[in-house]
Amino acid sequence: MGEWQGSAGAERAPSAAEVPVASGDVLFPRRESGGLAVASMVCGVLAVGGFGVFLAPQVAAIVLGHMALARGPGGRGPAIAGLVLGYAALVLLVAGVAVAVYLWRAFADMGMT
């Protein structure tokens, strides 16, 4: 096995991300677990599932999804799922508020409030 050297040329121990993992006769480098991506997806599911009236799950799903995609390829699928669900729940919330305001004004004009 080769020598591990830092940026200044000094020997150092490899980090966990640099050590390859053996799978049969092929070596695959370790990837991040994608914890941010999974958290984004969970927040997106919560936002669509009804907790989105508080606006926090949508914002969390969107922010965590973008952070996960910026960190690298690990967990790309759940990050994209979280982003889609977060943005969809945000659009639904804004549309729901717009419909509620429209109906409120319509009923107020008819004298039904």
Q: What is the pLDDT of residues 48-91, one digit of tens each?
A: 998 878 899 999 999 999 999 998 888 899 999 999 999 999 99
Q: What is the Cα–Cα distance from 66 to 60, expressed in whole angstroms?
A: 10
What was the pLDDT predicted at 28? 58
Identify residue 21 by its one-letter amino acid code: V
- The pair phi, psi for residue 50, each rounded to 5°, is 125, -15
**Tell me, what's the pLDDT at 16?**
62
Q: What one-character DSSP code corresponds to residue 11?
A: B
pLDDT for 77 equals 94
Region 22-28: what's the mean pLDDT?
58
- Residue 29 predicted with pLDDT over 80: no
Instruction: Compute the distance between CA of residue 48 and CA of residue 92 in angstroms, rounded to an integer.
Output: 9
* 19 has pLDDT over 70: no
Closest by CA to 45, choosing from 89, 100, 91, is 89
> Is the pLDDT score of 12 beyond 80?
no
When comparing pLDDT for 14 and 70, which is higher? 70
